[in-house]
Amino acid sequence: MTISQPLPAAIAAGERIAIVGGGLLGMVLALRLAERGAAVTLIEAAPELGGLASPWTLGGVTWDRHYHVTLWSDVHLRGLLRELGLEDEMAWTSVGTGFYSGGRFHPMNGALDFLRFPAIGIVDKLRLGLTIALGSRIADPIPLEDVSVEAWLTKWSGRTTFERIWKPLLRAKLGDRYRDASAAFIWAIIVRLYAARRAGLGAERFGYVRGGYARVLAALEAALVKAGVTVLVDTPVTRVVRAPDPGGDLVVSCATGGLRFDRVVLTVPAPLAAALAPDLSADERERLESKTYGGIVCASLLLDEPLGPYYVTNLTDEWVPFTGVIDMSNVVDRAAWNGLALVYLPKYVRPDDPLFEESDAAIEASFVGALERMYPGFSRDRIRAFRISRVRHVFPIATLGYSRTLPPVETSVPGLFVLNAAHIVNGTLNANETVALAERGLDAGLASVGRGA
Ligand SMILES: Cc1cc2nc3c(=O)[nH]c(=O)nc-3n(C[C@H](O)[C@H](O)[C@H](O)COP(=O)(O)OP(=O)(O)OC[C@H]3O[C@@H](n4cnc5c(N)ncnc54)[C@H](O)[C@@H]3O)c2cc1C
């Protein structure tokens, strides 16, 4: 589901390559290039590597800043974890899913729950089942790129089911930006969950590495250092241009001055990549800048007890100020958090949403107030810690005709490459796709590293 557009084919051993952006993508790319003999420098703006997957500390507990689970079917990610010696450190479980609809919670864990779900009638339920079966059988999603997700789902499932089931699911992933998405987006989700069910022999199996992403990233960073990668953190890059001298290096500007490289790969979000590289052509710039990104405001809460039995609760009631409830305690052994429970309240929004400017205190008051209204046994004195993450550019939305507007990986600036989540076509943003994107780009184009050009 990722593109196979190649990174450069001919790279000589010892070639100086900078990877800008030390998220998971940049880290895996850096590791693979170093293993093939390149002299790699990984440059990250934040004080630590990991990007969206990085951990933070909440009430004395260190865990992922954003909720992360691995599916049994995530073969690329699991391959990397195996390589890092972490696959045996994974714990697996089946998770429960619920719906909050009409002021009540409803389980959604199989056919019986589905049949009992009161929000839609039996005919609509049949149509919904057929829609999913149809989606899972579509081999080529490209024609779906020309139909909006709302039009496609309404056509097959009907308006009531769209409003009561699909829209809450779409809002949980995209916020109100679901209106911009093509049907290929829901196709990718149906296929991923079908694969998970198949691989998990019926039930969805979700897993995590004991210790969370802090442990994964520490192991990956150790592998980078061992492979000879130079890691620069706390180093925001401000510009990448080619030096004026004939055959000149690419110069990466940061606070400490200009660093010179033979090649540079930008793994930062598409609009940021456009801003860093002034020499890109007008068409390349337009393709990067026009990507419609979704952002997130995501609250983490440490509670004395889990909220309920579901890992994910989808919300049909639009008064709720967040777009889903993720109760991580239903996946992770609570011993990891000193016996407490960890809940995430994500709100997917546009990068320019006013919520980004709102104070932590105002967001906390609105989110906690909603939880008290939703969960009868819940009150704010059960909260041990509350912290908010804000990210304006999380992933580009699969808009109409998306794959026709892809930015090129190899740019018109010699030696400059852009590879990021915008190149995950007809897939969803997850660590498995991210690792696959790094590996596939390399397999396609960088195999000659270490053998000389
Ligand atoms: C809320 C949420 C939930 C998720 N849930 C899951 C899940 O359950 N399962 C799963 O598998 N995946 C999940 N993911 C997805 C997963 O986190 C991503 O697939 C992965 O982290 C993407 O890595 P990346 O390197 O492509 O991007 P990023 O992590 O965004 O990395 C880009 C990096 O570039 C850096 N950067 C930006 N500008 C500059 C600059 N000028 N100079 C230097 N560095 C710069 C940034 O600081 C960042 O570190 C989730 C993500 C989010 C946000």
Q: Which amino acid is at 298?
A: C
408 in the same domain as 285: yes
> What is the reported pTM?
0.92
Query: Does 153 reside within a domain?
Result: yes
Within a domain: 265: yes
User: Does residue 248 fall inside a structural domain?
Assistant: yes
Inside any domain, residue 303:
no
Assess whether 192 and 231 both reside in one domain: no
Residues 153 and 219 reside in one and the same domain:
no
Residue ending a domain, choose from 140, 175, 199: 199
Do 185 and 119 fall within a single domain? yes
Residue 50 Cα, ligand 1 centroid: separation in angstroms? 7
- Looking at the structure, do residues 153 and 191 belong to the same domain, yes or no? yes
Q: Domain total for the chain?
A: 2
> How far is Cα 123 from Cα 400, in angstroms, rounded to an integer?
30
Q: How many C-beta atoms surround the C-beta of residue 2 within 10 A?
A: 21
**For each of the chain's 453 residues, which pLDDT tens digit applies?**
444 444 544 556 789 999 999 999 999 999 999 998 999 999 999 999 999 999 999 999 999 999 999 998 899 999 999 999 999 999 999 888 898 988 999 988 877 888 888 888 999 999 988 998 899 899 999 999 999 999 999 999 999 999 988 998 888 788 888 999 999 999 988 887 776 565 544 566 899 999 999 999 999 999 999 999 999 999 999 999 999 887 789 999 998 899 999 999 999 999 999 999 999 999 999 999 999 899 999 999 999 999 999 999 988 888 999 989 999 999 999 999 999 999 999 999 999 999 999 999 999 999 999 999 999 989 999 999 999 999 999 999 999 999 898 888 889 998 999 999 999 887 788 999 999 999 876 754 443 333 332
Mutation to probe ligand 1, out of 52, 72, 332 (largest number of atoms < 8 A from CB): 52
Measured from CB, residues less than 6 Å from any atom of ligand 1 are: 20-26, 43-46, 51-53, 66-70, 236-237, 267-268, 272, 296, 298, 346, 394, 420-421, 429-432, 434
| 301 contacts 189 by C-beta, under 8 angstroms | no
Residue 26 belongs to a domain: yes
* Domain end position, chosen among 199, 227, 245: 199
Which atom of ligand 1 is closest in space to residue 437's alpha carbon?
A: 26
352: in domain:
no
How many CA atoms, within 13 angstroms, populate the side-chain half-sphere of residue 31? 21
Please name the amino acid found at residue 242: R
The minimum-distance atom of ligand 1 relative to the CA of 237 is 42
Mutate to test the pocket of ligand 1, among 73, 268, 298 (most ligand atoms within 8 A of CB): 268
Q: Which residue out of 429, 432, 439 has the highest number of ligand 1 atoms within 8 Å of its CB and is therefore the one to mutate? A: 429
Report if residue 286 sits inside a domain. yes
Same structural domain, 258 and 286: yes
Question: How far is the centre of ligand 1, averaged over its atoms, from the C-alpha of 268 (Å)?
Answer: 9
Q: Please, which contacts does 330-334 make with residues 24 or more away whose CB atoms are closer than 8 Å?
A: 330/93, 330/95, 330/96, 330/306, 331/69, 331/93, 331/95, 331/206, 331/207, 331/208, 332/91, 332/208, 332/212, 333/91, 333/210
Handedness of CA 321, 322, 328, 331 (dihedral sign): positive
Q: Which atom of ligand 1 is nearest to the CA of 69?
A: 8
276 CA: nearest ligand 1 atom: 41
What CATH number has the domain bearing residue 284? 3.50.50.60
Boundary-marking domain end, from 199, 222, 243:
199
Query: Is 286 found in the same domain as 412?
Result: yes
Please indicate, yes or no, whether residues 267 and 413 belong to a single structural domain of this protein.
yes
Question: For residue 169, what is the domain's CATH number?
Answer: 1.10.3110
Atom of ligand 1 nearest to the CA of 74: 11
Domain of 44, in residue numbers: 16-52+214-291+400-452
Residue 299 located in a structural domain: no
Q: Give yes or no: residues 102 and 184 share one domain.
A: yes
- Does 219 lie in the same domain as 194? no
